[in-house]
A and B are shown apart, each in its own frame.
Chain A
Amino acid sequence: MSEISRDTLMAYADGALSPAERAEVDAYLADRPDAATEVALMQRQANAIRTLYGPVAAEPVPPRLSVDKLLQTQQKRRSRFWTSAAAAVVLVGLGLGSGWLLRGQADTPGIADQLIADAVSAHTVYVLENRHAVEVNGADSEHLSSWLSNRLQTTLAMPDLSASGLTFLGGRLLPAPNVPGGRAAQLMYEDTTGARLTLYVTPSPGPNTPSYELANLGLDTALFWADDVISCTITAPYPADRLQAIAKTVFSQLNPSGPDYRT
């Protein structure tokens, strides 16, 4: 009888084989006590895991996890969004606007790295938030966009990444100690699996900024890009190639009049 792989034995133990494959393994195990012991151990592990944690599913569900209750809070929250939205739009614009006027004063060598670090810190903090992930709801993107465009004297749109499967959640104002003006805008997107991507946009930190940098940070990848007008860092838990594909869409939409994005 031919040798049967460990993976097949494991699939057998997990009940993942077809009846025909199962019969084949049954026959094999009949005269292989070692393999039979191995399979039995894997099944015992699975049984023990179910014994350990299985009873959780029978516990009463706490009220805070009631779907009805969560729906109600969500609807209440939605109506409160608009109050803070207007103020936040003005602040984001002020930050970028004054940054634009003061640009060129802080072009230290490691500026790209500092901006990437700021962007990633902000990403880490806010992607965890459900209720306070953004200050300005994504529904207000037209207002946000036109205001920023006026301030930066260029066409700056809120990128639409729906073609990449990402929904615009909204934006917020953040301190950015490393750029003139000291403020940055963070725009947040989410895919259908709940993974989140952020854009960290600042006025251009100066003429000596590297135009492109990619940083791999374990779970996240960050991609930095700058031109004469703005810098943008994209952070997401995606592999580099996927991020680069998204980056092309972002850059062409953020600044269509600017030079083409190159990797």
Chain B
Amino acid sequence: MVDILHEIEAAVPALRRYARALTRDFDRADDLVQDCLERALAKRGLFRPKGPVRAWLFTILVNVHRNSLRGTRRRGEVVDLADIPELSVPAPQPGHMALAELDRAIGTLPNEQKEALLLVTLEGLPYAEAAQILDIPLGTLMSRLGRARATLKTMTGTPSEPHLRTVK
């Protein structure tokens, strides 16, 4: 029991990072992580180590986020794209414009594509683990990744390549 608490605690920074990228909103992201942790702590007795604790936590986070999207849609809080503040954008630096553009482009992706893209690129998870977290077949994961990348490419355009290169 103590071990699982340590593992949950160790995953918090990654959960925050993933939630922030999903929502692009500081407070909403931490709300999601708090919900996720509360559910995980309440259920930790039921957890059967089939896989890593981390993957289990990400699954809960993805579900909590999907639930919150449904709630938002019902309340009709649709925000115009142009009104979205540029959160998570670092201070001006070479490549800043390209990154801000990418941040906005990610915000327009359908949630299912965003979930997949961020698990693989940002969290660096293997395809099999990402597919398991999202509860989809490997082929579906790859097609979502492909579509997400194609959209980002169209939206951010190839001319920004030189900028992106500077921020590696």
Contacts and interface: CB of A to CB of B under 8 A. Distances in A.
A10 B46 contact: no
Contact of B46 (A14, A48, A192, A195): A192
B122 to A, nearest CB: 5
Given A45-B153, A167-B46, A194-B64, A67 B34 contact: no
Contacts, number: 150
Contacts of B66: 219, 237
Interface in A7-57: 7, 10-11, 14, 16, 41-42, 44-57
Contact of B37 (A51, A57, A65, A124): A65
A165 to B, nearest CB: 10
Contacts of A3: none
Interface string B95-138: 10011001100100000000001101110001100000001000
Contact of B21 (A10, A53, A70, A190): A53
A45 B153 CA distance: 8
Nearest to B168: A47
Contacts of A42: 149
A47 B102 CA distance: 11
Instruction: Sort chain A's interface into a size bin.
Output: 35 or more
Contacts of A110: none
Contacts of A45: 102, 121, 149, 152-153, 164
B127 A194 contact: no
A42 B126 CA distance: 16
Given A51-B90, A71-B5, 17 more contacts: A6-B146, A7-B146, A42-B149, A45-B102, A47-B167, A48-B98, A52-B99, A52-B106, A53-B118, A53-B122, A65-B12, A67-B5, A130-B35, A130-B39, A194-B36, A194-B39, A196-B67
Interface of A: 6-7, 10-11, 14, 16, 41-42, 44-59, 61-62, 64-65, 67, 70-71, 74, 124, 127-128, 130-131, 167, 190, 192-196, 218-220, 237
25 contacts: A7-B146, A14-B120, A14-B145, A16-B126, A45-B121, A45-B149, A47-B168, A48-B98, A49-B122, A53-B122, A56-B17, A56-B88, A61-B12, A61-B13, A64-B30, A64-B34, A65-B16, A70-B34, A74-B38, A124-B74, A128-B67, A130-B38, A131-B38, A193-B63, A194-B36
